[in-house]
Amino acid sequence: MSFQSRSLSRGSRGATGPVTDAGKAVSSQNARKHGLNAPPGKAIVTKWFNVILNNRGDDQEEPSAADPRREAALRLAIAEARYHRALHKVDTHEREPGSAQQLAIKLRQEIWDVLAGMPKKIADGPPDPHALAYANFAIKQLEELFAQIGRERRLYRRYLGEARAQRRKALRAWCAFNRHEHLNSRNELKSQL
């Protein structure tokens, strides 16, 4: 079998995903890295649902899709919760303790500390070879962290854009529903007069 025919036969198959149990376990956790794809919490959806329906005090109700109006409000509440979660992540992910940005800041400070401990002049003697090796290694790690920071920023902005689009779609549906509701009520009022 030639190389070209082998590549064609492989290309005709679709991606099959992981085969081993270990691979499946790793793959199942792919979306858990940042949690932006997870459904929003029930409490925040309930809060948005009641804000959208203008429910206050004792009028608070559980989100439901019992009628078309509540279904549109529920979709908008979920979209609002996802949008605000994504917006918060974009604004705060660089300040989180384990983020690539925070690791890069710590590593940069370590590099500066190592370089500050090295001789400033040739006459002061040769630099410590271990310190030079560490500085070289740390600079390479810092470059990788900068690449990761860029990927994280693009990822979070992408999720924010997707959440913004879902929010816009849900808001249009909510407004269209309310516009039709008001048109119907005006028409009924005119027919009664």
Summarised one tens digit per residue, pLDDT across range 11-28 is 556 667 788 888 777 776
- Among 37, 34, 33, CA closest to 162: 37
Summarised one tens digit per residue, pLDDT across range 107-166 is 999 999 998 988 888 888 888 889 889 999 999 999 999 998 998 889 889 999 999 999
Q: Which two tokens stand for residue 103?
A: 């690791």
Q: Who's near 59: CB < 8 A, 6+ residues apart?
A: 50
Summarised one tens digit per residue, pLDDT across range 22-58 is 877 777 666 555 667 788 889 999 999 999 988 887 7
- Among 58, 43, 56, 51, CA closest to 76: 51
Residue 32's pLDDT is what? 56
